Amino acid sequence: MVALKGDGVPKIVLITGVSKGLGRALALEMAKKGHTIIGCARSQDRISSLQAELSQHDQNPNHLLVAADVRSDSDIEGLARVVIETRGVPDIIGTINKNNKIWEVPAEEFETIIDTNIKGIANMLRHFLPLMVEKKQGIIVNMSSGWGRSVAAEVAPYCASKWAIEGLTRSVAKELPVGMAIVALNPGAVNTDMLASCFGSSASLYQTPESWAPNAASMILNLTAEDNGAALNV
């Protein structure tokens, strides 16, 4: 999920899952466009690596990267305290089960998918939406999937989580004040670890996160309150 604060440029962009894949590529692209990045991920080592890369190419002193787990309500509450006065709320999160029939997916693996893809977004909304609603501004983009609108065999937990995000997004859209928007965004097929776990070597036939990020960033930055409740595709 990505959320942007304010109407002008540069914007403040808070992205979860910035340690790899789409989150990392989007953070670097948004920074390249002159926006301030607030990011979080579970891995401190990967957070430090991204911080070093941002520092190498961008002298913006306002970027802030924090080790936090979206599955933990207390972690996100702490993150909200850090950014409460000046930051907005974006979130890109994603995890996928190994291809398997639902009855063969271990309980712990299923819970990880649900906790990250559904509860993680709920935690972000719980702690950041009140700040945005108070100012009646901001756009939230929940990262969905084509499998949030269709289905495939052996990825039932992932499909279930993304169908949930589509429903959550449409419901929350009806709760927001005029001037705000929340959308569900299907990024399309991108060669990430998640895609490789499903498609194997065929994942290399699809675009990289780095080639995906420019179009995705431009699309996100051009969203308005009129897009509230929309199900969109990059």
Catalytic residue numbers read 158
How many other CB atoms are found less than 10 A from the CB of residue 212? 23
Which tokens sit at 175? 């709760």
Compute CA distances 158 → 8, 43, 161, 195, whole Å: 36, 22, 5, 12
- Of the candidates 28, 73, 65, 72, the residue with the CA atom closest to the CA atom of residue 43: 65
Q: What is the 3-state secondary structure (H, E, C) of the chain?
A: CEEEECCCCCCEEEEECCCCHHHHHHHHHHHHCCCEEEEEECCHHHHHHHHHHHHHHCCCCCCEEEECCCCCHHHHHHHHHHHCCCCCCCCCCCCCCCCCCHHHCCHHHHHHHHHHHHHHHHHHHHHHHHHHHHHCCEEEEEECCHHHCCCCCCCHHHHHHHHHHHHHHHHHHCCCCCCEEEEEEECCCECCHHHHHHHHHHHHHCECHHHHHHHHHHHHHCCCHHHCCCEEEC
